[in-house]
Structure 1
Amino acid sequence: MSAGTDVVVVFDSEHSDAQLQWLHDGDLRLECDPYAVNWRSGSDPDALLGPMRELGFNFSAADEPDDPAWVYDEDAVLRAFALAEQVTGVKFPEELVPVEAPEDEPEDVWDGVSLPDDRMRAAGTSGADLAGTDLPLLRALFQAGDAVCQEIARWAEEWAFDEAEVAGRPHAEEVLAALRSGDDVPDLLIFQVSRHLDPRPMMPTREADGRLDRGSRHSLFLEMLHNRGNTHPLAAACDALAAAAALDAGRVHRLHADLRRTFPQLDTTGH
């Protein structure tokens, strides 16, 4: 393979699992099932997250049809060809590539949530999710003000750093310093640290204590780094808490208990 060459493999068969692979300079950067891209492997499995999200790939973590969150994406292979076209610059026949990326139907994530103040909607999608699990905490975050929310965002990201067990890996301390200061984490630094983390398995597993396997936690931590950047303090705090909860397999109670112990001003008694 020539230097600088990109190769994308799209495989689909009724007899075996579909595969999407991206190789750059002979290095397998990304490998996943295009029908369920939340579980990815390769040397840089998050490098194409942006275009994959824009093309509408299925990022659901549910892997069983009886799970309410399970999604079957009948256009997964078409999306894979569209991604291949973007990566390689090779034009495919129109029947293989969607004319345009699918657009999600407009949805009010706050539908059915009773808020004491409409300004709480600034918390965004993660805030709406938090309202569904711990509305008193969302109220407390809103009332705490911007400065406290910014501090909580930094705290939650460091909590995720600890939960992911990234400490001790090359470049990890540089990432931690950026998280503690609230600074952006440069893409180059994310790439550098990603090269020293455990690969994400095709399917997540649980450890004896109920936590996700370390490879899955490492991948979720990298995804958190890629998705940082919400400038609204309340939304940033909610996003960071959601990312931290994902690292703990969605078990929010331990995270929220730690949060309330660390920030006693988040007094939700009586709400």
Structure 2
Amino acid sequence: MVRPLLMCFAFCVVSATSKPTKKDRVHHEEELSKLEHNDQESFNFDHEAFLGLDRAQAFAELPPEESKRRLGVIVDKIDSDKNDFVTEEELEVWIVHIHKKQIYEDEELHWDDIDKNKDGFISWAEYTDFTSNNSDADADDAATRARDERRFKFADKNGDMLADREEYAAFFHPEEFRHMKDIVVQEAMEDMDKDKDGFLSIEEYIADAYALEDGEEEPQWLDEERKHFAEARDQNKDGKLDRKEVLDWILPDEDHVKIEAQHLLHEADADHDGKLTKDEILGSYKVFVGSQVTNYGEALHHDEF
């Protein structure tokens, strides 16, 4: 069943049958690798950030010369303006592309089932037809469908109500796409702003964090949440959160991509001119990719190489 609004953007969902627990509305940006970033031990973190997990593992099985050759092919792709230099910005674009591969793989699970006419797009009609046939009708269906449609239109950059793979990924995982941040905040506000005044009061903030059962004693950590609301969340100290303050709360600016791009540039920039040539990247190939002399075998088969 595909129902993105019910996924809650990786927020913690509280079951109606279980004891209430602390909810976390913050979208924690996915790490570029699950490994510890410790260049004194290895560059494996950088390999996964630059290549993605599967491709990093495959490169590790290649002989050094083949690994460098394939890295050269990647460098040509990263150099989008074909000026023979790779900038920090181009590295960022590449890392974002790699980082989002998992998102696109998630959407592939249902793509063929939804795209009935096989035109390479998912129309709003195809999406609603699929979800209607794969979900149980309930009283909230009309409201949920209206919310879905609004998000679908928001993700549909050209307004044709046909989602290509990137637009559908943005619809399905809006928290992962910067241009979707307004709809993420809007949906969060609709969930939490019970009096519909356009702001979050401390009471609404606390009620969203924890739902007390009848007769239950309030957990002590709620005092810390109130303190955090006043000292950190409420930036202008007016006793409530506006949309900008909610945005800064649930979508914090944790730019792991920029940090990694800066790190890679620093490691490979031999002449310290703030950009990389292909020779500089290949000269520091162990930072970007792995390799080994043995076990080449059938390690990597991609058309781009």
Is the structural similarity TM-score above 0.5?
no
Q: Which has the higher helix share?
A: 2
Structure with larger Rg: 2
TM-score normalised by length of structure 2:
0.25
Q: TM-score, normalised by structure 1?
A: 0.28
| Highest RCO, 1 vs 2 (Cα 8 Å, sep ≥ 6) | 2
